[in-house]
Amino acid sequence: MLHLQKSLYGLKQAPKTFFDKLQAGLRERGFESSSLDPCVFMKKDIICVVYVDDTIFAGPDSVAIEREIKGLGVSDDEHRHKFELRDEGEVGDFLGIRIEKTGDKEFNLTQTGLIDKVLRASGMNESRACPTPAVTTALGSDKEGEAFDEDWEYATVIGMLMFLAGNSRPDIAFAVHQCARFTHCPKQSHGIAVKRILRYLKGTADQGMHLCPTQDLQVDCYVDADFAGLWGIEHDQDPISVKSRTGYLITFMSCPLLWVSKLQTQIALSTMESEYIALSQSMRELIAVREVLKEIREKVLGDAKTQLQYRTHSKTFKAIPQSQVHEDNQACLKFSTMPKMSPRTKHIAIPYHFFRSKVENLEIQVVSIDTNNQLADQFTKGLPEEKFVRDRKRLMGW
C-alpha cells in the first residue's frame, strides 16, 4: 500500500486537485468565482476564464493583467499559492480555436486545423464540396439498412465534428447532432450523412465565425421547434418517431454566444406545445447568461452595492437591457404571456412554467418574428440551399 503525498498527473482526481489549488491561489489575489459558473473568476477590471489548466485573463487595463499574471508565478510568501506558468501573450489560439482580430472590434474564430484533421481521418480531404451540411429529409435509425462499412471510426469523426460544431461552426450543429444519435450503432446511411458534412466543410474549410459586436449590451434569443419531425422516418410504433426537436440561439451584442440542437425528452401533443417546451429550455440558458452579466457588472465593472437596473435600453453597463426572445408561433407567443393555465396544457405546467416571473417583471420579452427571419430554424431541420445560405450569412457573417 502506498500513500501519495500529492496528486499525480493523469489520475482521475488530478484535475480536481489542481482546480482546488488554482481556485485558492486566485482567491488569495482577490478573485471571486461566479456563482453560476465556478470556472469564471472576477475582480476589479479583470476576468479569468479557466478550462482545465488553460486560462484567459481579460480586462481593459493590459498593465494590470500583466501584473496579475506575474503575481501568480512569483511570490515571496511561502504560504501563498504560486504556479509554474507560461505567458503566451495576447490570445491567438485557445483550445484549438484560432482567434484573429480582423478590424476595430471585429474578430474571426476558426478551427482550420481541426477541419483538416477530420478530413484526413475520414479520407475526405480530396472530396468535392457540398453547398449544405444536411439534406432536407430528417435522418432516421434505418434499423434494416446496410451496416456501416467505412475505413474510418464513426465515433471518432463524430467527436471531432461535435467539438467543431460547439465552438466555431454552429452552421453544422443540426447536421452533426442528428448523426451523433447513432454513434452506438451506425448504418451506411449515417456514414453517408457524415460524409455530406465533411464535403460541406471541405468547401468552407477556411471559414469560421465572424464576430462584429454592436454597442448595445443586449442578450437575445431565437428559438424554434420541429414538431414530430421524425414521423414517417422512424417506425410509427417507436416513441422516438413523435419526438420534436428543439433549436435555439442566444446572442450577445448581436454575436452568437450559445446554440443548441437536440431532441425533446417530453413528447409534445401539438405544435404549440413543442414550441413552448423549446421556449422554456432556451429560457434556462438565457436567464443564466443574464445572471452572469449581472455578476460582471457588480464585481468587474462597477460597485457591488450599486442598485442594478434591468428594463432599460442603456448602451452602457449601468443597466442590463431587456432581453427579447424571438418566437414565430403565435399560439406559443400568446400562451407564454397569458396569466393563467388551461386544462389542455396543465400537464406541462410544472417543468416548463418557471420562467414566467421573468416575463412578468419585464426582464425578458417574448416577441413575434417572421418564420423567414427565424435564425433558430437552421437548428431544427435541414434547409434548402437558398434559405440556408441566407441564414448562415446572418449567423456566421459570410
Per-residue pLDDT tens digits of the chain, which is 398 residues long: 888 777 777 888 888 888 998 999 999 889 999 998 999 999 998 999 999 888 899 888 888 888 888 888 755 554 556 777 777 767 778 888 999 988 888 999 999 999 999 999 999 999 999 999 999 999 999 999 999 999 999 999 999 999 999 999 999 999 999 999 999 999 999 999 999 999 999 999 999 999 999 888 889 999 999 999 999 999 999 999 999 999 999 999 999 999 999 999 989 999 999 999 999 999 989 999 999 988 888 888 775 444 444 443 333 444 678 899 999 999 888 888 776 666 666 677 666 777 777 776 778 889 999 999 999 999 999 999 999 999 999 999 99
| Model pLDDT, residue 5 | 78
Using alpha carbons, select from 127, 130, 98, 103 the residue that is nearest to residue 208.
98
| Model pLDDT, residue 316 | 40
| Model pLDDT, residue 77 | 54
In the chain, residues under CATH classification 3.30.420.10 are: 215-384
Length of the chain, in residues: 398
Q: Specify the CATH number of the domain 215-384.
A: 3.30.420.10
- What distance in Å separates the CA atoms of residue 40 and residue 59, rounded to the nearest whole number? 13
- What distance in Å separates the CA atoms of residue 94 and residue 83, rounded to the nearest whole number? 20
Look at strands 209-211 and 54-58 and give their pairing.
Answer: unpaired
| Model pLDDT, residue 282 | 94
Place of cell 482546488: 20
Question: How distant, in Å, are the alpha carbons of 16, 288, 306, 362 from that of 315?
Answer: 39, 21, 17, 18
pTM score, whole prediction: 0.88
